[in-house]
Amino acid sequence: MRFVAQLVAVLFCILSPNVVVAQNNTAQQLYDALHMDILVEVIVSEGQEQVKDAAELYLSGRAIKVFVDQNRNLYQPSVIKERLIKGLDVGMTADQRSIALAFFQTETGSLAAELEATARQAISDQAIEDHAKAMVANAKKNKEARVTELADAIEKMGLIDMNLAGAMTAQYHFLMPLAKVDALGLNQAEILNMIQEGQEEIIDNITTWLMAFTYMAYTPLGDEQLTTYLSYQMSENGAALNSALFDAFNGIDRDMSAAMGLALAQALQSQEL
């Protein structure tokens, strides 16, 4: 990512200002076409919930409320939006963004993007997530072809591995600052071992969640529309888009997890004094 950022800086010096603006506009247009403002809301909401959960797990008494109040603005919508647009800008070429934008301006692409964003927001509710899992279980029982089609697409796109890498990286960066808290008795080796031991459970959770999310999100799509959309997702351009988005989302998750871990470590050290 650092190399890409340096490359963009070089291009800024040799391209005309109009070209640079056009590229940035394309990234913004793609962000809008994917309804990513909804996803930003999800990141902020779930992030604030993670702050509360971490406080309740590691702190006690009044320290919980103090920590939550102090870190309420850890997840800034404007910063997250800027990073996502930048991720599309530096993670894809101008031609790749133009091709992706053209697809998501089609009837099928536009509908799929809206369904994904709204489904991602809805599934933040545990009751909705449980309902989506029940939908998949029922579809498997009825041997629906769509279940197999979605499972094959998830595997071919490498979504499980990409989510796993992001989750484990976020865990590591959250836990590492806590190694400096004497009362917890953690060191780097133990943290790595904890993450490794939980890998199979994480994979199972990711696989189940992805099936529930995709099945629920794409239910309104007809069979032909779903096949068209999945074909795009598995295309070279779809892979470029997913790679750029995962790099951006995982980078945000990593940095926010590290910041939360550091804040929590400082709160715990203050309790020790």
Question: pLDDT digit string (tens) for 1-59?
Answer: 222 332 222 222 223 333 333 346 899 999 999 999 999 999 999 999 999 999 999 99
Note the pLDDT of residue 273. Answer: 55
Determine the Cα–Cα distance for residues 49 and 125; give it in Å rounded to an integer: 12
For residue 190, pLDDT over 60 is answered with: yes
Q: Which residues of 127-162 are buried (b: 16+ CB within 10 A; e: fewer)?
A: eebeebbebbeebeeeeeebbebbbebbeebebbeb
DSSP per-residue codes, 11-57: HHHHS-HHHHHHHHHHHHHHHHHTTHHHHHHHHHHHHHHHHHHHHHH
Element (H, E) at 174: helix 159-175
Burial (Cβ within 10 Å: 0-12, 13-18, ≥19) of residue 101: buried
Q: According to the per-residue pLDDT averaged within each range, which of 21-30, 186-195, 229-238 is highest?
A: 229-238
Global pTM value: 0.86
| Chain CA centroid to CA 257, Å | 13
Note the pLDDT of residue 33. Answer: 98
* Tokens describing residue 236: 């070279």
Mean of the per-residue pLDDT values of the chain: 89
Strand ranges for 86-226 from DSSP E:
none
For residue 117, pLDDT over 50 is answered with: yes
Q: How large a percentage of the chain has pLDDT more than 70? A: 90
Residue type, 179: A
Note the pLDDT of residue 67. Answer: 94
Task: For residue 240, give Cα distances in angstroms to 163, 173, 246.
Answer: 16, 26, 10
Instruction: Write a three-state SS string for 55-68.
Output: HHHHCCCHHHHHHH
DSSP per-residue codes, 194-258: HHHHTHHHHHHHHHHHHHHHHHHHHTTS-HHHHHHHHHHHTSHHHHHHHHHHHHHHHHHHHHHHH
| Chain CA centroid to CA 96, Å | 21
Note the pLDDT of residue 24. Answer: 60
Inter-residue contact 126 to 53 (CB < 8 Å): no
Note the pLDDT of residue 53. Answer: 95
Give the pLDDT band of residue 272 (cuts 50, 70, 90). Answer: low
Domain segments of the chain: what residues? 2-272
